[in-house]
């Protein structure tokens, strides 16, 4: 079976853990319990009739005091860069996260999640739609979560 490592990268509290829990266990929790270090979850998917396994790395978020340790990045095939639409600076920081990821994994694929989209008004959603590689997700309301993971997996496996 083919197995691939993918990372969830972004600032603290943007919803990385929540996106994974939604995708893997289909659950959501309103409470915030910050991640320290890393936790790996597994998810089997069918792509082109072939069973593959994603090893999803839930990394601790970047904080103003501390960036994400680079040792976690190695050997990843893909990444989901997660920002929180209600905190603009977390979206702004995505470029920086992406650069680190690409530097360590030049052939890695990535997609971008603008998470907590349930907090946006309709006209705001419209203005953010159709940006390349960007998924407006909500771990809370289960919007675009699976679609995004599958899109990333397809990109990885097509390479």
Partner 1 sequence: MTNIQIILNTILSKNIFEYLLIDRDLKVVNTSVGVLKYMENVPYEGDDVLMHMPEFLGFEEKLKEVFEKKDFTYTFKTIQKNGYYMNISLDHYNHDIALVLLQNITKMTQAQQQLLQYSNETTLLYHALQKIIDAQNSLLFVTNSDDRIEFANQTFLHYFHAENLDEIKAKALKLYPYVNKNIKSYNELHKHIRGSEINLNIGNDTFIMQSTAIEETHRLFTLSRVTDIYEKKKSLEAEVEVDALTSVYRKKYFDLRLEQLLKEENNFALIVVDIDDFKAVNDNYGHTVGDDVLKEFAFLLKKNIRQDDLIARWGGEEFLLVLKMDDLQRAMDRTETLRKMLDEHTFKHIGHLTASFGLAWRGQCDCDDANSLLQRADKALYKAKNNGKNRVILKKLEKRGENCIV
Ligand X SMILES: Nc1nc2c(ncn2[C@@H]2O[C@H](COP(=O)(O)OP(=O)(O)OP(=O)(O)O)[C@@H](O)[C@H]2O)c(=O)[nH]1
115 membership: H or E segment, kind and range:
strand 109-115
Which has the closest alpha carbon to 132: 155, 159, 99, 158?
155
**Tokens 């289960």 sit on residue:** 142
Q: In the stretch 5-24, what mask flags binding to ligand X with x, by CB under 6 A?
A: -------xxxxxxx------
Which has the closest alpha carbon to 7: 38, 35, 47, 32?
38
Using rule CB under 6 A, residue 35 touches ligand X: yes
Smaller CB separation from ligand X, 34 or 103 = 34
CA angle 48, 54, 55 (to 5 degrees): 165
Residue of the chain from 26, 29, 40, 51 that contacts partner 1 (CB under 8 A): 40
Q: Which stretch binds Mg ion (CB under 5 A): 33-41, 96-104, 126-134, 142-150?
A: 33-41
Q: How far is the CB of 97 from ligand X (least distance, A)?
A: 12
Using rule CB under 5 A, residue 17 touches Mg ion: yes
80 membership: H or E segment, kind and range:
strand 78-84
DSSP secondary structure code for residue 61 in this structure = P
Residue of the chain from 28, 35, 41, 128 that contacts Mg ion (CB under 5 A): 35
Using rule CB under 6 A, residue 95 touches ligand X: no
Using rule CB under 8 A, residue 77 touches partner 1: yes
Using rule CB under 8 A, residue 64 touches partner 1: yes
CA–CA gap between residue 6 and residue 58 (Å, rounded): 9
Helices 16-25 & 145-158 angle (0-180, nearest 10) = 90
In the complex, the residues that contact partner 1 under the rule CB under 8 A are 3-5, 12-13, 32-40, 42, 55, 60-61, 63-65, 69, 71-72, 74-77, 87
In the complex, the residues that contact ligand X under the rule CB under 6 A are 12-18, 29-32, 34-35, 60-61, 115-116, 118-119, 138-140
């Amino acid at each position: 079976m083919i197995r691939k490592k993918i990372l969830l990268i972004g600032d603290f509290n943007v919803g990385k853990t929540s996106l994974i829990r939604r995708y893997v266990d289909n659950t959501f929790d309103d409470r915030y319990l910050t991640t320290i270090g890393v936790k790996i979850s597994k998810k089997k998917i069918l792509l082109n009739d072939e069973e593959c396994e994603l090893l999803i790395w839930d990394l601790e978020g970047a904080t103003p005091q501390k960036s994400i340790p680079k040792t976690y990045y190695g050997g990843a095939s893909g990444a989901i860069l997660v920002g929180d639409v209600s905190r603009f600076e977390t979206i702004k920081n995505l470029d920086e996260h992406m650069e680190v990821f690409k530097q360590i994994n030049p052939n890695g694929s990535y997609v971008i999640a603008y998470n907590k989209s349930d907090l946006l008004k309709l006209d705001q959603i419209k203005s953010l739609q159709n940006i390349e590689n960007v998924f407006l997700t909500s771990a809370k309301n289960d919007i675009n979560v699976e679609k995004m993971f599958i899109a990333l997996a397809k990109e990885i496996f097509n390479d």
